[in-house]
Amino acid sequence: MARLRVHAFTITLDGFGAGVDQRLDAPFGDGVEGLHDWMEPSFSRRRRGAELDHGDSRGTGVDDAAFRAGEENVGATIMGRNMFGPVRGAWPDESWRGWWGEDPPYHHDVFVLTHHARPSLPMDGGTTFHFLEATPEEVLARATEAAGGKDVRLGGGVATVRAFLAEGLVDELDLVVAPILAGAGERLFEGLRDLPAGYRVDALTPGESGVVHARVVRR
């Protein structure tokens, strides 16, 4: 049975997954600078591995394991429109093709939730972006089919993860708490009153970079 998994989703100590005023030059908004610094060694190791062409990009630590876990056995990705790009409202044209360049690091079907339809967008390397106006349940059904037996990864942003949590559709939520205060922004755990009925915290585990990994699983 395919599972819906969230990985490496990072919040501040005061609970924010994004700051205020998300935009092109600040995709996560203001106030959350450094939120994803814990991933940098993993990215850097990967770049080095690619340069040396030996493919050896695995670290040994908790942070790197959490980073890599998000890529294991994933056959499709779901994301909200804010994670796809900074454009809000109707698409002015089709020039925005995601944050990731012509060869996005997905290499499978990516389903983007949006109220504004747009033709599917095939990219290099096997990634195709599909744009859907659908309920979480509907898009999960589409993504599960596309995943062909593998799991589905739910990216972000905050509101998207919250919506799937509220519907009880997430099977595993691997959170990261960063030693940062944002003060304001988008809160992950907001209006999720029924969450404890379906989920529990499996463990809090320190990473090497000063963050803490929190695994939230079904009861």
Which lies closer to a second copy via its Cβ, residue 5 or residue 108? 5
Integer Cα distance of 219 and 135 in angstroms: 24
Q: At closest approach, how far in Å is the CB of 218 from a second copy?
A: 12
Residue with the two structure tokens 């708490």? 177
Q: At closest approach, how far in Å is the CB of 204 from a second copy?
A: 5
Residues in Cβ contact with 193 at an 8 Å cutoff, skipping those fewer than 6 apart: none
Phi, psi dihedral angles at 170 (to 5 degrees): -80, 130
Binding residues among 160-179 for a second copy as defined by CB under 8 A: 175, 177, 179
Which lies closer to a second copy via its Cβ, residue 134 or residue 204? 204
Q: Which two tokens stand for residue 47?
A: 């770049």
Residue with the two structure tokens 């819906």? 4
Coil vs helix vs strand at 68 = helix
Phi, psi dihedral angles at 166 (to 5 degrees): -60, -30
Annotate each residue in 116-155 with x if it binds a second copy (CB under 8 A) or - if it does not, as one string.
----------------------------------------
**196 is an interface residue for a second copy by CB under 8 A:** yes
Residues in Cβ contact with 32 at an 8 Å cutoff, skipping those fewer than 6 apart: 12, 16, 18, 19, 180, 182, 185
Q: Binding segment for a second copy among 84-92, 101-109, 128-136, 208-216 (CB under 8 A)?
A: 208-216
Q: Pick from 47, 115, 200, 218: which binds a second copy (CB under 8 A)?
A: 200
Which lies closer to a second copy via its Cβ, residue 110 or residue 173? 173
